[in-house]
Chains A and B, each alone.
Chain A
Amino acid sequence: MNRAPLIFLGIFFTLAFSWTGIVLSNQLSYGKLQPITDETENKSYPELLPGLAAQGKLVYQDLGCIYCHSQQVRRPGFGADDKRGWGDRQSVARDYIREGRVLLGTMRTGPDLRNIGARQTSRDWHMLHLYDPQITSKGSIMAPFPFLFEKHKIVGQSSPKAIKLPAPYTAEAGYEIVPTPRAEALVAYLQSLKDTYAYPETKNVFVEPIAGTKKENQK
């Protein structure tokens, strides 16, 4: 192989071929994917993130949550995602078409978060968990995020936003622990994560033939 131009052509072609097949073809076919307007509920799915949750997504990125948490549910029967309550159907492409940055993740050092908003609705639980995961989940290896909270002197009444930490984390008398706006936003984002709508393509699932039916008997 001594002709550099030919080598160059081959090198170029192999890259172009994979880009066209993997990226371009899907970018084109995804163009047909539109949000679905559900006439009964008068909403369109997938939903856009409300403002505070959109800010919370930036906090999620800033702190690198993606490196321990995935956001994609595998189909029932492939892994135990459905049995663990992480989702009752496989995540489909349409679930993500409104996201500016898709954060699928590739590690499950912690649980999948795609439907955490449906699974864990308590703001207080999230606040305690973020302050120090050991409070709600003993033995967790998740990082603590005390810097998402501030200690305030109680002036007059205590703030309704203050979180009630158990011993030994409780603030000393006269002080309270209040989440920063970043914490509020992050929790709003987590609470917004739910993919419950049943798009038509979620029915494209292989169904085992039932024993004793005609197909079985013909074998």
Chain B
Amino acid sequence: MSAGEPRETNPKIEQAGASDESIQQVHSILLREKPEPTESKLPMPLFMLGFISAMVLTVAIYFVHNSGGFSPMVYDERFDPKNAPGSTQEVKADPVAQGKKLYASVCAACHQPTGAGVASVYPPLAKSEWVNGTEEHVIRILLNGLTGPVKVAGANFNSTMPVIGPGGYNFTDEKIAYVLTYVRQEWGNNAPPVTPDKVKEIRTQAAAGRSTPWTAAELEAIK
């Protein structure tokens, strides 16, 4: 309260004092009020310091322990990216499962979901000596295509298989490897899987620069 300030008679109180009863009213409300609140300066109880320290310690430990290494990609608070084994490795894709999806999306239209092909038009892949044969052949077929007469499982075919690799369907080395791995173990076929590295090796070295489809004769010359 600034005690030094001059105070003229408050007109409001005088107005309020117009009638005896309202003076009583104003004054009794004012008078019965206790003074404005103040704060006493009692010190903080000591146990508060202990309580606060205990809280800070336990909660800090809880926080650090349950934060998943503070990684924004961790949603399970118990998981620690540093300790979990193999957590940073990508789980390997299953080539056969991936190959199956790829086959369905691109190859099945001609070679059929059963791998039986269409008589005289599209060769079968089931029990095909080409599919079960050396990977040197099948990889080249997907990379550059195949044209001209070819004998498959005792039947003759003469059409053009489009490029599945770069320049055609643009399959990556992985995709070519996966789809070949798939067909080489499906429908009674039994040939070893194809690796992406092998596809890359053929694409960048042995068959590098090839831009025309292979013929059956050319492939048979390659062992």
Where the two chains meet, the residues of A that have a C-beta atom closer than 8 Å to any C-beta of B are 26, 29-30, 32, 39-42, 75, 90, 92-93, 200-201, 203-207
Contacts and interface: CB of A to CB of B under 8 A. Distances in A.
Contacts of A41: 101
Q: Looking at chain B's contact residues, is the secondary structure mostly helix, strand, loop, or mixed?
A: loop
Contacts of B90: 200
Given A203-B91, A204-B68, A40 B101 contact: yes
B102 A201 contact: no
A75 B75 contact: yes
Contacts of B68: 204
Contacts, number: 44
Contacts of B91: 203
Interface string B60-98: 000000001001111110111100100100110000001
A40 B76 contact: no
Could you say which of A30, A40, A75, A90 has the most chain B C-beta atoms within 10 Å of its C-beta?
A40
B87 A204 contact: yes
Interface of B: 68, 71-76, 78-81, 84, 87, 90-91, 98, 101-102, 105, 172, 175
Given A26-B72, A201-B73, A204-B68, A40 B78 contact: no
Given A200-B73, A206-B84, 11 more contacts: A40-B102, A41-B101, A92-B75, A200-B90, A201-B75, A203-B87, A204-B75, A204-B87, A205-B76, A205-B79, A206-B78
A42 to B, nearest CB: 7
Contacts of B72: 26, 29-30, 32, 93
A207 B86 CA distance: 12
A30 B80 CA distance: 19
B181 to A, nearest CB: 13
A203 B75 CA distance: 10
Contact of B79 (A40, A93, A206): A206
B75 A93 contact: yes
Contact of A42 (B80, B81, B84, B105): B105
A41 B90 CA distance: 18
A92 B101 CA distance: 26
Nearest 9 Cβ contacts at the A-B interface = A206-B78, A29-B72, A201-B73, A206-B79, A204-B74, A40-B101, A205-B76, A204-B79, A40-B98
B138 to A, nearest CB: 20
Nearest to A91: B75
A204 B73 contact: yes
Contacts of B73: 200-201, 204
Contacts of B76: 75, 90, 204-206
A40 B101 CA distance: 7
